[in-house]
Amino acid sequence: MSRVQHTPLVDQRTAFAQIFGVWRPCMPRLAIGIVLSLLALLAGLELMWTAGLRLAGMAIGLWAVASIVLRLLGAGRVAGRYIERLFTHDAMFRALADLRVWFFRRLAAGSAAGLGFRRSGDLLSRLVSDVETLDGLYLRVVVPLCGAAVALALLLRAALPLAPGLAVVLAVLLLMAAIALPLVALRIGRHEGGSIAVAQAALRNGLIDLTAGLREIRAFEAEAGVASRIDVLDESLSRAQGQLARKLALAGAVSFLTGQAAIVAVLAALVGVGMTPLHPAAGCGLLFLTIAAFEASSGLTRAGVLAGTMGMAARRVVESADQPATLDRGTRPAPSGTDIALRNVSFRWSPDRPMVLRNVTLDIPSGSRVAILGPSGAGKSSLAALLLKVAVPEEGDILLGSEPLSTLRDDAVRSRIAWLSQATHLFDDTLRANLTLGRRDVTDDMLWRALDQAAIGDLVRGLPDGLETWIGEGGTRLSGGQGRRVALARTLLADAPILLLDEPTTGLDAQTAADFFSTLNDVAGDRTVIMIAHRLTGVERIDRVWRVADGQVMPAMA
C-alpha cells in the first residue's frame, strides 16, 4: 500500500493538444456555448451601463434611458445567463463523456499491456477526478477569457470618448485581472495541482487496497497499521488541498482588489481628481460597466491557480490512455484457419524490463492439445497475452491461420480464442449475467451444459435462485473453487475454435480437477486446447508439451 509515485511522461502541451483533438467533434457545440455566453455577458454589460446612465440621469433630472430598455436588458440578461449556463454545461458534459469513452476504449484495447502494474485506484482517479477536472479548461478558462476580451472592448468603447487616460488605466487593470494575475497564479498553483492529483490517486489506492484486503488485514490484526497509513495519505491530500485553498483565496483577494482599484479610478474621474470631472450620467454608467466587466473576469485568477491541477489531470489522462498506442491495430477479419505459429518471437513488457521470451519458434496445429509448462515467472502468461494480442512481440511474428496477428482486428482474434485467465474476474451480478458475458445468443440448455462440464451444474441446481443467483462482487458469495468453475463454464460457452486455459484447475480439489480434465477431453471436440500450467496431473489428454524456461520454449515429453 505504498504511495503512488508519479511523474507523467507526457508533456502538458501534447496532453492538451490530444484532449482538444478528442473534443474536435464537440467543437461546434462548444463554440455555440461561447457565443451564447458572450451574448449573455453583452446583455449584462449593457444592462449595467444603461442602469448607471438612468440612475444618475434621474438624480440630475435627465431622462437618459427609457425604463423599457432596462427591463428588456434585464430580462435578456437573466434568460441569456440561464440558456448559456445550460448550454455550456451540457456541451462540456458531452465533451467529458466523449473523453471518458475515448479513455476507456484505449484502456480496454490495451488491457493487459502494462496494466498489470497500474493500480486500479489510480486508474479510477484518472477516469473520474482527472477527467472531471478538465471541465475547467472550457468553463473556467476558455469561456471567461472570451468574456474578458468582450468586456475589455466594451469598456474601451465606453471610456475612450469620455477620458482616454482613464480608459488606459482600466484596460491595464482589466488585462492584469484577466491575463497577468492568472499567469502568476498558474506558476504559484502548479505545484499543488500536481500534488493533489497524485495524493487523490494514492488515497483511492489505499482505500481500495483496504477494502479488498480487509480479510487479510483482520486475520493479521493489521488494522492499526493500515489505518495509520490511510491517515498519512489523507493528511497529505488535505495538506495539498489546504495549500491550494489558501492560494485560491489569495488569488481571489488580489483579483478583487484589482476590480476595486478600477472602481476607485472611475470614482476619482467622476469627481475630477486630476482631470475635468466626467459627466455624471456617463460617469455613473461607466462605473457600473466597470463593476460588471471586472466581475466577469474575476474568476480567471482562480482558474490560473487551478490550471496546474488541470495540466496534471490532462497529462495523467493522456498518459494512461496512450499506452495501447504501441499495439498494432489490424483491420483484417478472422482467417478461416486456426493453426498458430510463432516465428522467432522475442518479447518484454516494456523497454526497462528484462526480456521474457527470446527468439521463440513454435507451432500449434489446429485441433491439437498443447500444454505449456514452466516455473513461476517463466513467461507462460506472457505467451498467452501475445496470442490474445494484448501485447506485441518486440521481434518476430505470430501467425493465426497463416495471417500475421498484427494485421487482424482485435475482435477477430478474440472471436477465435476463448480465454480463461489465471485470475478471472466475476462481476457483481447474477450467475446468468456472468456466464453470458459478451454473448446474447445462449440458451438455458447451453448454460446448463457448460455448468455441468465445469462440474458446478449440480450445485447451481441446488441454489434457490438457480441461474439468477446474485454472486456478489468478485464472486464473493461463492467459494474460490466454485468461482473458478463458473469462470471455466463461461470460457467453455464461448464459441471459439481455440481454448486458451491459464492454470484452469487453480482452486479445484484433486477430484474436481481430474473430473474437469476428463470432461475437457470430451467437450473440446476438435477445438485447439492450449493449457498453461506448472505441471501436468496425468489426467489431461495432451498431444504435445512445451516447456518455458530462461526465455526459451522447448519441446518436452508429454
- Interface with ligand ATP (CB under 6 A): 112, 114, 116-117, 349, 353, 356, 374, 376-382, 422
Q: Among 413, 452, 417, which residue's Cα sits nearest to residue 435?
A: 452
Q: Which amino acid is at 33?
A: G
For ligand ATP, which is the closer residue by CB, 157 or 353? Answer: 353
* Min dist. Cβ of residue 38 to ligand ATP (A): 49
Q: Which residues in 265-411 belong to E strands, given as ranges?
A: 340-347, 357-364, 369-373, 395-400, 403-404
Rounded to an integer, what distance in angstroms lies between the CA atom of residue 346 and that of residue 354? 11
Strands ordered across the beta sheet of 369-373? 417-420, 498-502, 528-533, 369-373, 544-549, 552-556
For ligand ATP, which is the closer residue by CB, 99 or 112? Answer: 112
* Min dist. Cβ of residue 373 to ligand ATP (A): 9
CA distances from 541 to 416, 499, 533 (A): 22, 14, 14
Rounded to an integer, what distance in angstroms lies between the CA atom of residue 505 and that of residue 286? 81
For ligand ATP, which is the closer residue by CB, 28 or 377? Answer: 377
* Min dist. Cβ of residue 300 to ligand ATP (A): 43
Residue matched to cell numbers 434621474: 58
* Min dist. Cβ of residue 18 to ligand ATP (A): 24
Identify whether the C-beta of residue 294 lies closer than 8 Å to the C-beta of residue 262.
Answer: yes
* Min dist. Cβ of residue 522 to ligand ATP (A): 27
Per the document, the length of the chain is 558
For ligand ATP, which is the closer residue by CB, 126 or 380? Answer: 380
Quick one: angle between helices 299-322 and 223-271, nearest 10? 140
* Min dist. Cβ of residue 379 to ligand ATP (A): 4
For ligand ATP, which is the closer residue by CB, 96 or 533? Answer: 533
**Residue at shortest CB range from ligand ATP:** 116
* Min dist. Cβ of residue 396 to ligand ATP (A): 17
* Min dist. Cβ of residue 116 to ligand ATP (A): 3
* Min dist. Cβ of residue 112 to ligand ATP (A): 5
* Min dist. Cβ of residue 376 to ligand ATP (A): 3
For ligand ATP, which is the closer residue by CB, 44 or 374? Answer: 374
For ligand ATP, which is the closer residue by CB, 74 or 396? Answer: 396
Identify whether the C-beta of residue 506 lies closer than 8 Å to the C-beta of residue 481.
Answer: no
**CB neighbour list of residue 467: distance below 8 Å, 6 or more residues apart:** 430, 431, 432, 435, 444, 447, 460
SS3 494: coil
Q: Among 38, 41, 285, 294, which residue's Cα sits nearest to residue 176?
A: 294
For ligand ATP, which is the closer residue by CB, 232 or 536? Answer: 536
Region of 174 (left: φ > 0; alpha: ψ -120 to 50; beta: rest) is alpha
For ligand ATP, which is the closer residue by CB, 453 or 505? Answer: 505
For ligand ATP, which is the closer residue by CB, 116 or 555? Answer: 116
Residue matched to cell numbers 518436452: 556
Say how many C-beta atoms besides its own lie within 10 A of residue 428's C-beta.
14
* Min dist. Cβ of residue 422 to ligand ATP (A): 6
* Min dist. Cβ of residue 350 to ligand ATP (A): 7
For ligand ATP, which is the closer residue by CB, 189 or 374? Answer: 374
* Min dist. Cβ of residue 13 to ligand ATP (A): 29
For ligand ATP, which is the closer residue by CB, 432 or 547? Answer: 547
Q: Phi, psi at residue 313, to the nearest 5°?
A: -60, -45
Identify whether the C-beta of residue 527 lies closer than 8 Å to the C-beta of residue 498.
Answer: yes
For ligand ATP, which is the closer residue by CB, 348 or 527? Answer: 348
Cα 121 versus chain centre, distance: 11
Burial of 371 (0-12, 13-18, 19+ CB in 10 A): buried
User: Beta strand 544-549 with 528-533: parallel, antiparallel or unpaired?
Assistant: unpaired
The grid cell for 547 is 516447456
Rounded to an integer, what distance in angstroms lies between the CA atom of residue 34 and that of residue 245? 28
